[in-house]
Structure 1
Amino acid sequence: MADTLNPPLMQKSTLGQVFDRVAASNLLTLAALLFTAFLALAPGFTTLPPMDRDEPRFAQASKQMLESGDYVSIRFQDEARLKKPVGIYWLQAAAVSLGEKLGVPEARTTIWLYRIPSLTAAIGAILLTWWTALPLVGRQPALLSGMMMAGCVLLGVEARLGKTDATQLFTVMLMVSVLARFFMASRNRLVAPSGLVLPAIFWIGMAASILIKGPIGFLLVALTCPTLVALCRRADAPAAGPGGGWFATRDWQWLKSLHWLYGLIFTLVLVSPWFIAIMIQTGGAFLQQSVGEDMLNKVAGAQESHGGWPGTYLAVLWGTFWPFAPLAALAAPWVWRHRREPAVMFLLAWLVPFWLVFEFFPTKLPHYVLPVYPAISILISAALFTDGLPRALWERIVAGLIPLLATVLAAVAIGAVWFYQREIAWLALLLGLLAIAASIVCWKQLGQGRQVEAVLSCLATGLLLYWGVYAGAIPKLQAIAISPRLVAAAATPQCPHVHAASVGFREPSLVFLAGTDLQLPDAAGAADFLGQGTCRAAFVDAKFEPAFLARLATDGTKAALVTRVDGININGGRKLDIGVYRAQ
């Protein structure tokens, strides 16, 4: 692409010149990307409580691996978790084990340790976005692409959650970065990179992807490669003539560089041991639940009420790819004009088929299309550094969504703290105002044609708002931190481990923090539980308390109401009022 889509000569500002110098050096580029990733991902990483429901389910299953020493089976309390492969649990267990060795207090219930694989993978995906973009668009656009991924709100959310999606993105980027190099070498009639390093990276990415999230990474490759073959004609193919047929004229020879036979064998060697072990251990139930129930249910219908019409992902892109989604809309005309260029063709083959498949799956969750967000960021950068983004009236209106959404997000964060806590989040207010100012600067710079500066101002908007939300607003929202407050209220110096039961509040975060032996009985069962010994506590939702107290009186059990914990369940928004009772 660098040969065919040369950026126009233009007068560079001081900031633009500094950007070019950074992009020209691999070392400075890596430093800039790591620094940007730190600014984007650090706030809130260690302070967010376990975020129900998926994150604590993963963390609890990883914790139970450490408790039991069984690294094959995946369990949440007594229930087998057979929807996802084992990869993320191994990574989380390794991170927590390292934390224990380094002396982290209460490491097994310290949620940020379980987030380390997600954070590390998110940083790796940012760096790989740059590395993937290098052969496609050149140094400056590649650097800007990586910075946009660092500032993408969806990747920031996934980096702060101990689950699969950031890690899945990293494994996908390992594969795509190799495909980009082999494809561009073929289209530019260059000798493909030799040796086994790149094929090994690809197949390690494939194996890791399968162990993290099953077939998703394979699906992306299976859609991208045939699409490229279908779109690309061999340079030496005759325009017409007998023999060979349509396939013989397609450019598929570059795929040979992946050494498919050896790669598939290598992948099977890496992934088969666990799959064989879990199939034996579960009598085939893993395959039935992970494929027959989890995956096929998502294809056939809206699973767990996460349904949506085709076009849902395009609609939510404005929020999940904030603050850069308006730039994607502005880049769309350029992408269409250059759709036959090899680099654009590669990016569209990566983006479009995968996106369409998930648009037509009934089950919709925003993170499902995260593996193609780097392609969007690279397309935006390519457009910016070649023809530039347009500056007509309608484009100015679209760009105006950047300050509009910044204002809305800042207002929501500050308003939530006031609504639930009756406090003013001063840090969030200050950083929110600065973010709005930066977004207005971005809008003006786009209108002036200072587009590199505009994207950097857009990035600054996101960074300021992330610090305002994660460091300024969410720490004040104690109303959502139900499980940590319950566990803290039950703790006593005399009891190193409090056995607990919970009635009416069954969120996975409570199981993770209170212990694997947390009981989830009815009101009568919780009263009986308190009567079975000391160092016991019961968490009883207000609507179940009459039955609970009646059973205590019938049994003659002495229990004291220690405190009440009220707040909001972030799953569904239900108001909670929970009494904490301790056995006497």
Structure 2
Amino acid sequence: MNDWLETLQKPGARGGLNRYAYLLLVLVALAAMLPGFFTIPAMDRDESRYMQASRQMMETGDFIDIRFQDEARHKQPVGTYWAQVITTTPFGGAEAPVWAHRLTSLFGILAAIIMTGWLGSRLFSPQVGIAAGLVLAIALSLQVEARTAKTDALLLGFGMLAQISLAMLALKITEKRPAFIGWPLALWAATAVCILIKGPIFTMVTGLTLVGFIALTRDFDLLRRIRPGFGLLVVIAIAAPWLVAVTIVTDGAFLAEAVGWSMLRKVSEAAENHTGPLGFHLMLSPVTLWPAAALLALAVLAAWKNRSDRTIRFLVAWIVPTWIVFELITTKLPHYVVPTFPAIAILMGLALKDVPGVLSGLKQRIFHWVVAAAVIVVSGVLIALPIAAHIEFNGEIGLDAWIAAIAGVIGLITVAALAYAPSLRTLGVAGVGAISVYGAMFGVVIPNIDAMWPSERVGRVVDRLEGCETLSIATLGYREPSNAFYLGTDALLADNADAAADVLVSDPACGLAIVDVAEREGFDAALAARGISVRPLATVSGYNLVKGDALELALLVTEGSEVRLGE
């Protein structure tokens, strides 16, 4: 084991990590992220909206305007949709499965892990780089993002390139002459791509890092080294063509809605009811950074101990201003502070190099154990979650729940070991525990709780229907975006009984209504007013996770319909 660790920590041919260290990070990341990646159905709401909008780009050939069915989707720029078009094209394009859309997120997280390992090794040592990469590879929040086809994982990948470039320029790890174009070009090109993915969000992170670092070091020459004039031209060249095109196509509606929704509204009010108290992200960090959150106190102590170091000041400037901004804005979601995680991971790796020095006094040890205790409690919750989920959705505890609970016990033990004896070795052990938890939770429990996935189950029933080449479909009482992904772009997500009934009136031979029991009385009244009677083909029960409502969905056709349920 010692020989193996020594091999991993040997510098590569050009310094930094060697190929075995990079291979380890990739293998650990894939072992953690692939369970459930291919089997978890489309999730509501954001993932399904992104996947459906990307599919519609391929169906219509319109790669400028973003639409979800007939509605304009102007909340985020086009980058993620284009990326999903690229990853799904080899796997069927508009007919590609869910996992093909998720490849953008998987690649984004992998890139962030590799770049974090590279940066940690360049700033400090290969040991720090390996530890930092492992922290990200097993972090719970990144596991969720890697399995979700939306913006944040892809944004982290390109954002890391921007942050690395800024670090190289700020810490003068490259040529000092402003004529050197490589890192400024990388900085501004990555910034432009981030704008195309999620507007100015990561640009804010990079800008706050820049301002914070200058405030801590008084290095105003950094403003010259980043070459802002050149950078503006790069950003315009990359981002402006689509921004101009979409502004023309939408008569300015995209910019008005994107700026109003993504920026101003999130600051002033809780968009879509996503809110939390001041300190929300700090209180949630034992969960979002699990299992390596057991090292959080060590990271803080290491930063304080080395606070005069220029490199530490850069990492602090990366973390603190961004974290404060996201604590202050009204809208809060757990993944908002993920852009700070690579810097936190590097500080954790640094702390592991000098644990006795970091935990040199009683106050430091108490601080460490208070934080570690919170993380151990989170580990205990992971044991109970699969059992609670089975009781909630299935009314009983299945074998897969017990498997996940056993994996949770392993995770708890390994986290306790990491807290008790922090080292690169015990971090690797915690990684094994985390992989077992993720394998059981994402790979076994979540995909197999059928009640969680009513849209996917209805889609399977619809795929068995025979008699009509094309169906006219309406849903009533269950309008989540995953319906459009599984039932087709033209499916009507009706907001009233009359609209759903009109679908059967307009196509009595091939019309299909999917109606929740809570809406059945109003739907029957609408049918009676139109002189239509219906017969059931199938019933699907489930649970709307977004609203917390139980569902009983009846698949209904007219009495004279040609539609029948196949084998």
Q: TM-score, normalised by structure 1?
A: 0.88
The question of 1:567 aligning with 2:542 is answered: yes
RMSD: 2.3
Measure the CA separation in 2 of the matches of 1:305 and 1:453. Answer: 42
In structure 2, give the amino acid aligned to 1:317. Answer: S
CA distance in 2, matches of 1:542, 1:483: 15
User: Is 1:71 the equivalent of 2:68?
Assistant: no
- Report Cα offsets for 1:168-211 as digits up to 9, x if no partner: 1111100111122222226xx97579843322222221111000
Deviates more, 1:371-380 or 1:289-298: 289-298
What is the CA distance between 1:16 and its match in structure 2?
4.2
Q: Which residues in structure 2 correspond to 1:223-238 (within 5 Å)? A: 223-232=208-217
Taking the aligned partners of 1:131 and 1:539, their CA distance within structure 2 comes to: 52
- Inter-partner Cα distance in structure 1 for 2:266 and 2:54: 25
Q: C-alpha separation between the residues in 1 aligned to 2:136 and 2:11?
A: 17
Find out whether 1:257 has 2:225 as its counterpart: yes
Counterpart amino acid of residue 409 in structure 1: L
Give the match for residue 321 of structure 1: 289
Q: How does 1:17-56 map to 2 (within 5 A)?
A: 17=6, 19-21=8-10, 26-56=18-48
Residues 402-438 of structure 1, C-alpha deviation per residue, up to 9 Å, x if partnerless? 4432221121123202331245443453354244235
Quick check: 1:525 aligned with 2:499? yes
Residue 397 to residue 83, structure 1, CA distance change in 2 (3 Å): closer
Shift of 1:301: 1.6
Deviations 1:435-481 (A, max 9, x none): 4235324424543x452222122222211111110112112211011
Deviation at 1:136, TM superposition (A): 1.7
Farther off after superposition, 252-261 or 66-75: 252-261
Contact 2:205 2:318 in 1 (8 A): yes
User: Quick one: which of 186, 197, 203 aligns to 1:201?
Assistant: 186
Give the aligned partner of residue 444 of structure 2.
Answer: 472
Equivalences for residues 514-553 of structure 1 within 5 A: 514-521=487-494, 522-533=496-507, 534-553=509-528
Q: 1:302 aligns with which of 231, 249, 270?
A: 270
Task: After TM superposition, list the pairs within 5 Å mapping 1:359-370 onto structure 2.
Answer: 359-370=327-338
1:88 matched to 2:80? The reply is yes
Q: Hey, what's the Cα distance between the residues in 2 that align with 1:302 and 1:554?
A: 41
Match of 2:49 among 51, 57, 69: 57
| Distance change >3 Å, CA 279–CA 438, structure 1 → 2 | closer
**SS in structure 2 of the partner of residue 207 of structure 1:** helix
Structure 1 Cα separation of the partners of residues 407 and 267 of structure 2:
43
Distance 1:402 1:228 in 2: 31
**Aligned equivalent of 1:142:** 129
Alpha-carbon separation, structure 1, partners of 2:499 and 2:176: 72
Q: Following superposition of structure 1 onto structure 2, how do residues 210-221 of structure 1 map, counting pairs within 5 Å?
A: 210-221=195-206
Task: Map Cα deviations across residues 49-91 of structure 1 (whole Å, 9 max, x no partner).
Answer: 1110111111111111111111110111111111111111111
Indicate how the Cα distance of structure 1 residues 262 and 442 shifts in structure 2: closer, same or farther if over 3 A, else same: same
Deviations 1:483-514 (A, max 9, x none): 01112223313334322101111100001211
Runs of 4+ in 1 over 4 A off after TM superposition: 12-16, 21-25, 189-195
- How far apart, in 1, do the equivalents of 2:207 and 2:414 lie? 42
2-structure distance, mates of 1:325, 1:348: 17
For 2:499 and 2:222, the matched residues in 1 are separated by: 65
Instruction: Give the AA of the match of 1:167.
Output: L
The share of aligned pairs that are identical, in percent, is: 34
Alignment gaps of 5+ in structure 1? 1-11, 102-106, 233-249
> 1-side partners of 2:514 and 2:428: how far apart?
49
CA distance in 2, matches of 1:46, 1:210: 29
Equivalenced residues, count? 548
Q: Report if aligned partners of 2:76, 2:199 keep a CA contact under 8 Å in 1.
A: yes
Stretches of structure 2 lacking an aligned partner (at least 5 in a row): 562-567
Conservation of the 8 A alpha-carbon contact between 2:159 and 2:194: yes
Task: Give CA-to-partner distance per residue, 1:75-112, whole Å, 9 cap, x none.
Answer: 111111111111111111222222227xxxxx536221
Give the CA deviation at 1:372.
Answer: 0.6
Q: Sort the Cα spacing of 1:32 and 1:558 in 2 relative to 1 into closer, same or farther, 3 A.
A: same
**Structure 1 386/566 Cα, relative in aligned 2: closer, same or farther at 3 Å?**
same
Q: Quote the Cα distance in structure 2 between the aligned partners of 1:178 and 1:125.
A: 13
Which residues of 2 match residues 264-283 of structure 1 at below 5 A? 264-283=232-251
- Name the SS for the 1:185 alignment partner: coil
| Separation in structure 2 between the aligned mates of residue 193 and residue 283 of structure 1, nearest angstrom | 40
Task: Name the amino acid aligned to 1:366.
Answer: P
Normalised by the length of structure 2, the TM-score is 0.91
Q: CA deviation at 1:154?
A: 0.8
Residues 286, 375 of structure 2: 8 Å contact kept:
no
2:563 paired with 1:576: no
User: d(CA) in 2 for partners of 1:28 and 1:163?
Assistant: 31
Q: Does 1:460 align with 2:445?
A: no
Paired position in structure 2 for 1:108: 95
Q: Determine if contact 2:390/2:401 at 8 Å carries over to the other structure.
A: no
Check the 8 A contact 2:178/2:224 in 1, yes or no: no
